[in-house]
């Protein structure tokens, strides 16, 4: 009787050990072989990228693809939230929410992008608005710059934010700003100005 009891215990121990080994070696818990990270978020690589010549519709596709790759569902809508004013396409997810930072995309007659401006609200400042501005700046630069790391893009955005407050480049409302001390960002340049209670981080193609 005792021999039978200990034999059963031994068999159960062997079975439990085998189950534990299978669980630890399960491929379901493995991370992708290629990945990029923002903080603790893992993004599938490679990310979709585009250029200004691809136009606004392609920019929206790549921007949203980058958001999805990082697990962010705050996407740009392709057919809602956009307002046209001359060569400028203005975007707010909620049109009447003036605390939401505005994204501006300037296009030419062929729909190629000439410049992108991300608004950083000052007069109507909220932490939510600041976070959204930084998020839009990051994903804009991410989908335009496939070669730069996340850390490099975050550093560039932080440096521009610092310059916004330290070197106030004031421009009258609706006037064309001068490009002072642009910062290189891959194939693009960054500069900033202040107008109508809003700081703008601006993205243009670098001169050939």
Kindly state whether residue 155 falls inside one of the protein's structural domains.
yes
The set of residues, in sequence order, having a beta carbon less than 8 Å from that of 32 and lying 6+ positions away, is 42, 44, 45
- The packing angle between helices 127-144 and 150-166, to 10°, is 130
**Tokens for 79?**
């057919």
* 16 within some domain: no
Q: Note whether residue 11 is domain-resident.
A: no
Q: Is 21 within a domain? A: no
> Is 198 within the bounds of a domain?
yes
195 in any annotated domain: yes
Provide the number of structural domains found in the chain. Answer: 1
pLDDT of residue 46: 61
Is residue 49 one of the residues assigned to a domain? yes
Q: What is the pLDDT of residues 90-102, one digit of tens each?
A: 999 887 787 888 9
pLDDT in tens, 133-180: 999 999 999 999 988 999 999 999 999 998 887 877 888 887 889 888
- The answer to the question of residue 150 being in a domain is yes
Q: pTM of the prediction?
A: 0.76
The whole domain housing 39 covers: 30-205
pLDDT in tens, 12-53: 443 444 443 333 222 222 222 333 444 444 454 568 899 999
Question: How many C-alpha atoms does 43 have within 13 Å on its Cβ side?
Answer: 22
């Amino acid at each position: 009787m005792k021999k039978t009891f200990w034999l059963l215990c031994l068999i159960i121990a062997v079975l439990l050990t085998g189950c534990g080994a299978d669980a630890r070696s399960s491929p379901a818990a493995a991370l992708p072989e290629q990945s990029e990270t923002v903080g603790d978020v893992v993004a599938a690589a490679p990310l979709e990228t585009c250029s200004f010549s691809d136009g606004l519709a392609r920019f929206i596709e790549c921007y949203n693809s980058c958001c999805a790759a990082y697990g962010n569902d705050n996407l740009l809508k392709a057919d809602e939230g956009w307002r046209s004013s001359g060569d400028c396409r203005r975007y707010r997810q909620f049109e009447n929410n003036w605390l939401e930072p505005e994204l501006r995309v300037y296009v030419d007659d062929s729909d190629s992008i000439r410049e992108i401006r991300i608004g950083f609200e000052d007069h109507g400042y909220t932490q939510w608005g600041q976070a959204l501005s930084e998020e839009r700046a990051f994903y804009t630069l991410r989908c335009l710059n496939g070669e730069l790391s996340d850390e490099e893009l975050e550093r560039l955005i932080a440096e521009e934010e610092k310059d916004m407050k330290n070197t106030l480049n004031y421009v009258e409302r609706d006037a064309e700003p001068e490009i002072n001390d642009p910062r290189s960002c891959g194939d693009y340049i960054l500069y900033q100005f202040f107008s109508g209670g809003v700081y703008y981080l601006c993205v243009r193609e670098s001169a050939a």
